[in-house]
Amino acid sequence: MNSALFLANLFLFKEETTGRYIHIRSHDLEQLRLNPKSDVLNGLAEVYDMFAQREFPCLREQLDRRFTRNYEEFKARRRWPEGGVTIEPAPLRMEFDRAVLQALGESISDDELMRVYKAIVKEMTVTRGLTRD
């Protein structure tokens, strides 16, 4: 549930009316259609074992170590900077997501993974900006 795949789906299915705080409902989880086969479950269990003792930073810093600075720029302008936003995910985050994707039998490039992170970071930024800090 900490993978970029889950987070992307969470933002895709979240209610538009929940404002800044995202409520995860059982209905949201059902829409994700999580029914992996046993060989995939074994691979995911191995990923869990590999990362269970490793300390992850908070989610926003996992996806973009510059999140606070990027958010402050977005908040000041109320729009994205010309040419888009540059993000810097934590290496542990990328290692974890690559392992999850491998366990699922999927292969995407680092550029594609960065585009996923950027989309999630943009959603997190907009969601955070829905109320005053």
pLDDT tens per residue across span 2-37: 677 667 766 666 655 455 555 666 666 666 666 667
30: left (phi over 0), alpha (psi -120 to 50) or beta: alpha
CB atoms within 10 A of CB 40: 13
What pLDDT is recorded for position 94? 94
Residue where the block lists tokens 């994205």: 80
The predicted model scores a pTM of 0.74
Dist CA 46 CA 86 (whole Å): 32
What pLDDT is recorded for position 69? 85
pLDDT tens per residue across span 44-85: 899 999 999 999 998 889 989 888 888 888 778 776 667 677
Residue 133 pLDDT exceeds 80? no
Per-domain residue ranges of the chain: 4-128
Dist CA 80 CA 14 (whole Å): 22
Q: Which residues contact 130 (CB under 8 A, 6 or more apart)?
A: 19, 20
